[in-house]
Structure 1
Amino acid sequence: MRKIVSIISILGCLILLSCQGPRNDPSDENWTNLFNGRNLDGWKPVAGEALFEVNNKEIIGYAKANSPNTFLITEETYGDFILELDLKIEDISSNSGVMVRGQFDPNARDGNGLVFGYQVEADPTERAWSGGLYDEARRGWLYPLDLNPKAKSAFKMGEWNAYRIEAIGNEIKTWINGQEVAYVVDDIDAKGFIGLQVHSINNPEEEGNKTYFRNIRIQTENLSPTPFQGDVFVVNTGLNELTEFEKEKGWKLLFDGKTSNGWKGAYKETFPEKGWHIRDGILLVEGADGGESSNFGDIVTVEKFSAFDLAFDFMMSEGANSGVKYFVTLSEGNTGSAIGLEYQILDDERHPDAKLGIEGNRTLASLYDLIKADKQTRFVKGPGEWNKGRIMVYPDNKVEHYLNGVKVLEYVRGSGEYRDLVAISKYKIWENFGEATEGHILLQDHGDEVQFKNIKIRILP
């Protein structure tokens, strides 16, 4: 019996160690400790008034009411590296994060200084976006965890959490407690400091709440990137590029950035001769009179798709109206834009269509004329800025729309609820609208200039 218990104990230890992910041997000579466990030598606080102290080989940050975000940053800067540390949060108000390749402008905010750049999130709220990547004081969220919902459970409130961050070349990858979390390809910052955040709070009753950090170490030489094993979505801010990881997972570009290969005019055999252009890796439709498919016409993929994950970047001109349609069959014989389910592209502030339909179901990222996108203003980029759209159609007919990494709606094609919505929409005249087994992807010409890039798709099994 004792032998059996011993074997079980050993197996349990091995399983526990395997769940810790790619954390390396502490004796590895490639590691350098960034925190000596005794004092804050090599670090300095900036931008806010929160206090940091060292106790029991831990850095403790104390929340300060009515102070801006405070960061304890390294005096040294780093380019390519692998960083590991432990982080603990005890109160839900203590949002935190780890700056990587961070930047600091000492003259900003009337000389009080401003920290900006990549921040790996520590989010104790129900939102649970810990390990996601945020661009502090600049572009906002690059990798919300709606893009990897399986990782939302990785962070443990009130416990030590093992963070691993790899910033190698233009790739940033994160792990929490061995769970693969975020994968971002971006080249805006190649070098910067490491920083530990104590987030701003407004409630004086929350003052003094603690955030803890320990075992902070870094590798800067002989770096060996750890490959992700799971099915993790990649946010790639390059221009019409795919990583090797994406290719391995079945992603392919629908637009190569150079030619119209794979596209044709709706109800046509060839690509439109005018109105649609490819310039510097961008696919754009000219602005005209605002008419629906009455100028240069829509374009569709030559290929048809059934269950898929489609991602695309789009930029609207002021007051623009357009859309990305899916399950387009081109069989209705109608005039105007081809019939299909539509991810709405719209300047909600300036285009009158935003006020039409039912309860906002014609606004940006909505399922046009059927379901309103539930989105927050801070996740919307206006005219002249690039937005990231995403449409996921699962084999069981569940569909999800995303805007800038945040899920804004979901529904099930062919369900009773779906058919009830169709019955009170403009699509009620089309039998079995949106329920085809496969169809084309369509980019709409609605008479306004809209630009597209980074159009990629993966077939879902």
Structure 2
Amino acid sequence: MKTQNMKKNNFAYFILSILLMAFSCKSKIENKQDSKWIKLFNGENLDGWKAVGGAAEFEVKDGVIIGYAKANTPNTFLITEQDYTDFILELELKIEDLSSNSGVMARGQYDPAARDGKGLVFGYQIEADPSPRAWSGGLYDEARRGWLYPLDLNPAAKSAFKMGEWNHYRIEAIGNTIKTWINGQEVAYVVDDMDSKGHIGLQVHSINNPEDEGNKTYFRNVRIQTENLEPKPFIGEVFVVSTGLNELTDFEKSKGWRLLFNGVNTDGWKAAYKEEFPSEGWTVQDGILTIKASDGSESMSYGDIVTTEKFSAFDLAFDFKFTEGANSGVKYFVTLSEGNTGSAIGLEYQILDDERHPDAKMGREGNRTLASLYDLIKANKNPRFVKGPGEWNKGRVVVYPDNRVEHYLNGVKVVEYVRGSDDYRALVAESKYKIWDKFGEAPEGHILLQDHGDEVQFKNIKIKTLQ
């Protein structure tokens, strides 16, 4: 009996020692991880920070930074006195009122001489958006280029931010890549090299309504890593916005993205009704594919070009830049079987200078304007998301396996419809396409870039097949 008890005791000691060792190893790992973090906020005062840009006030209470909204003053930022290059930043943020838009500057810039000496903060800002739009975690280029990553590009992340609760933000700025998370949800992925260094900033947004004055935005547990960084990989299907030139990230490649235009030559493209590429008119230079101006007519000078491949369900993204008064388009489900003259027939993402080209006022109810489904559905555009002549716009067409289709302009969804639906066919019946049986309903087709006699440029043409 004594021997049995001894055996039981020895076994118990053995199990206990294993648990203690495991706990000890876990503690060492956690301590090692925690030692990599530097507290940017000491929980007691605002040492190392300064308020700039506007007149909103900040105070520290119970280990929390509180920002108070103030009417009729510009955006106010509490920024670090130190600049940072590559880092991983984590913090918690809480908003209690819908008027209290906020954000976190990452590599932010500050010009104290701007606005007649009142100062200006600009640069990368990770949004805190309590409005129904719900773009929290998206990337906004404050006081400069505007939205780089609206959350229309990642609608699954719109529910990550919780109003009236503490939200955990993680921001990685490593090299030319910025990635964001809210409460563990993957949100934004941007590749951009405009700023490689800058401050961390906490925003209290400007307000116009005096009744909203005094509403609070809260920040706590602000910490940063700057050395031996270990980036956290994205796992989900997150769209990547890149301002680079004809390059894909390893993440995109792993998700099935590939370039349709390699930036060097016209491999993978041909004339719409020929087997070879047009001998003139289309050029590749410095990574840009250009159709030069001619007489403004539709596909009569140099001709459209199409992919040698056909596509069914896909996610297509492309950058385009048009000249003043220009007209062009990106067509999809092009079969080249209609036997028509002029441009090949297909569903068209319209490219147009709405302000100067007469086509914008033709058709029905604006359905021939920029980013529209040409002659069928008008793009629902906010002017602030439209780049004019001489500026690069980002287009995107998504065709899902169930025939749902979406058009995007500069990250914002502006058109959606279902190929072959009753509503779609009713629109076709009232359009110029009514003479073609089951227009736009082919199971697959080419992608087409249109020659409409005006100079238009393309780059960063990439595609992913959807299953």
Give the Cα separation in 2 of the matches to 1:79 and 1:25.
25
Give the Cα separation in 2 of the matches to 1:25 and 1:296.
66
> What amino acid does structure 2 have at the position aligned with 1:139?
R
> Residues 26 and 372 from structure 1, CA distance in 2 versus in 1: closer, same or farther, beyond 3 angstroms?
farther
2:146 to 124, 137, 140: 140
1:219 to 201, 215, 225: 225
1:98 to 98, 104, 109: 104
Number of the residue aligned with 2:324 = 318
Number of the residue aligned with 1:193 = 199
Q: Does 1:436 align with 2:442?
A: yes
Cα deviation, residue 457, structure 1: 0.1
Cα deviation, residue 25, structure 1: 7.0
- The aligned runs of 1:40-439 (5 Å cut-off) are 40-439=46-445
Q: Does 1:28 align with 2:34?
A: yes
> What amino acid does structure 2 have at the position aligned with 1:53?
E
Give the Cα separation in 2 of the matches to 1:314 and 1:260.
17
SS of equivalent to 2:179: strand
What is the aligned residue count?
438
SS of equivalent to 1:146: helix
Give the Cα separation in 1 of the matches to 2:268 and 2:201.
45
Cα deviation, residue 26, structure 1: 9.3
> What amino acid does structure 2 have at the position aligned with 1:256?
N
Give the Cα separation in 2 of the matches to 1:278 and 1:66.
50
Give the Cα separation in 2 of the matches to 1:408 and 1:109.
35
> What amino acid does structure 1 have at the position aligned with 2:275?
E
Give the Cα separation in 2 of the matches to 1:383 and 1:393.
28
Give the Cα separation in 2 of the matches to 1:443 and 1:296.
12
SS of equivalent to 2:318: strand
Q: Which has the larger radius of gyration?
A: 2
Cα deviation, residue 28, structure 1: 1.3
Structure 1, gaps ≥5 residues long: 1-23
> What amino acid does structure 1 have at the position aligned with 2:170?
R
Cα deviation, residue 147, structure 1: 0.2
SS of equivalent to 1:420: helix
SS of equivalent to 1:368: coil
TM-score w.r.t. length of structure 2: 0.93
> What amino acid does structure 2 have at the position aligned with 1:200?
S
> What amino acid does structure 2 have at the position aligned with 1:66?
N
SS of equivalent to 2:180: strand
Give the Cα separation in 2 of the matches to 1:428 and 1:114.
54
> What amino acid does structure 1 have at the position aligned with 2:125?
Q
> What amino acid does structure 2 have at the position aligned with 1:241?
E
Give the Cα separation in 2 of the matches to 1:432 and 1:292.
23
1:453 to 446, 451, 459: 459
Partner deviation per Cα, 1:390-416 (whole Å, 9 max, x = no partner): 000000000000000000010000000
Cα deviation, residue 202, structure 1: 0.3
> What amino acid does structure 2 have at the position aligned with 1:409?
V
Cα deviation, residue 379, structure 1: 0.2
Give the Cα separation in 1 of the matches to 2:294 and 2:373.
25
Give the Cα separation in 2 of the matches to 1:331 and 1:91.
57
Structure 2, gaps ≥5 residues long: 1-29
Give the Cα separation in 1 of the matches to 2:349 and 2:380.
13
Cα deviation, residue 236, structure 1: 1.0
SS of equivalent to 1:28: helix
Partner deviation per Cα, 1:333-376 (whole Å, 9 max, x = no partner): 11000000000000000000000000000000000000000010
Give the Cα separation in 2 of the matches to 1:261 and 1:27.
48
> Residues 230 and 351 from structure 1, CA distance in 2 versus in 1: closer, same or farther, beyond 3 angstroms?
same
RMSD of aligned Cα (Å): 0.8
Partner deviation per Cα, 1:69-107 (whole Å, 9 max, x = no partner): 000000000000000000000000000000000001111
Cα deviation, residue 27, structure 1: 6.0
> Residues 119 and 339 from structure 1, CA distance in 2 versus in 1: closer, same or farther, beyond 3 angstroms?
same
Give the Cα separation in 1 of the matches to 2:466 and 2:31.
38
Question: % of aligned pairs identical?
Answer: 79
